[in-house]
Amino acid sequence: MKAGLLAAPGRVTVDERPDPTPGPGEVIVSMAACGICGSDLEKVKGNYRATQLIGHEPVGTVAALGTGVTAPAVGTRVFAHHHVPCYSCPACYSGAYTYCPSYTKTNLDPGGFAERFRVPAVNVSRGALLPLAPTVSWEEGALLEPAGCALTALRIVGLPPATTVMILGLGPVGILYARLARTLGAGWIGGGDPSSLRRTAAGRRGVDASVDPRNVEKVRQLVQLATGGRGVDLAVVATSAPSAVSVAVSLVRRGGTVNLFGLPEAGSHLEEDLQQLYLRGLKVIPTYATTERDIAEVHALLAAKRFDVRDLVTHRFALDKLPEAFELAAQPEKALKVIATGPAYSG
């Protein structure tokens, strides 16, 4: 079978790999679609080295079950989550599931960009395979993981009704964040991104107004105008650019929250006036990744058509064109969400 892998920093290849077979408790999934995530792009740039495995947003059809597995049945359309918490450690007991020490210990083999991939037994037993409702398309399914990350973030930072939000970085996950916040009852939502393609997509649903943040003064004016000079309740850093953090800090009201949502550039530092943070009572809250519960909740919103993401997938590439897909996904003026498609994809 074909599998898309990160051969070296900067180089995505599509290799021939032996077909996976399921061990006890494991499941094999025939891939239909898998999105290219911003963190995949950072791995290719050599900016994120926690793992060199790419592809963690896959949906597909259950192709084979290992001994001891009875569900989901062969043929079921599923989303497969690559990481799972243990649910029995201090981090998990406190609700910080994505910071569980065992959360990143398992992964899909050989990753989501493969014609077929193996889901480890521990993932299967902890609910990492989510059956898709018939009303949820493959492309919507491929957005479940990033949308789940946005829901996990909103759950952690809190979103009281009518919260004002400013999102810096309107890539696919920034837009998902905005649309989810809208669905869940946010008030005014603003956005900043240098790409006009992204600002337009954000403006279709989710974001009330957006600007090019290369002119920081314009960002500040937008927020001042929308909040009567107070600043937003919540500023979201949905980009890896370190400079966005300082901008976000300057946009929130006293007692407000800055959510570090995008993967920060490796080696970047928080350089803020600590006395100002102290006196203004700002909360700076990082949120990383997502959980089965939040993915299931986003899925329910999608199935009920309360949350529309169908316009976000702008390009589809067959798996053997994965290197071209990565090249395009790295160009914010040309593409929003780029997905790779596999043998189970049928439009």
Residues forming the site for Zn ion (CB under 5 A): 37, 85-86, 89, 92, 100, 146
- Give me the least distance between CB of 278 and Zn ion, in Å please: 32
Q: What angle do CA 146, 46, 54 make, to 5 degrees?
A: 40
Q: CA 11, CA 323: separation in Å to the nearest integer?
A: 8
| C-beta closer to Zn ion: residue 100 or 302 | 100
Which residue's CB is nearer to Zn ion, number 100 or number 248? Answer: 100
User: Measured from the CB atom, is 101 or 185 closer to Zn ion?
Assistant: 101
Residues 131 and 145: their CA atoms lie apart, in Å, by 14
Q: Taking phi first (over 0 means left), then psi (-120 to 50 degrees means alpha), and beta for anything else, what does residue 326 get?
A: alpha
Extract the tokens encoding 176: 């998902």
Is 276 within 8 Å of 258 (Cβ atoms)? no
C-alpha distance from residue 283 to each of 28, 258, 259 (Å): 43, 6, 8
Residue 208: CB minimum distance to Zn ion, A: 26
Minimum CB distance to Zn ion, residue 92 (Å): 3
**In the complex, minimum distance from the CB of residue 290 to Zn ion, in angstroms, rounded to a whole number:** 9
> What's the closest the beta carbon of residue 88 comes to Zn ion, in angstroms?
6
Residue whose CB is less far from Zn ion, 37 or 251: 37
Nearest CB to Zn ion, comparing residues 5 and 41? 41
3-state SS, residue 34: strand
For Zn ion, the closer of residues 100 and 181 by Cβ is 100
* Strand boundaries in 109-251, DSSP class E: 116-119, 129-131, 165-168, 189-192, 209-211, 232-237
**Integer angstrom CA distances of residue 81 from 144, 253, 289:** 9, 36, 11
CB 117 within 8 A of CB 25: no
In angstroms, give the least distance from the CB of 21 to Zn ion. 27
Residue (59 or 249) nearer to Zn ion, CB: 59
- The least distance separating Zn ion from the CB of residue 87, rounded to whole angstroms, comes to 6
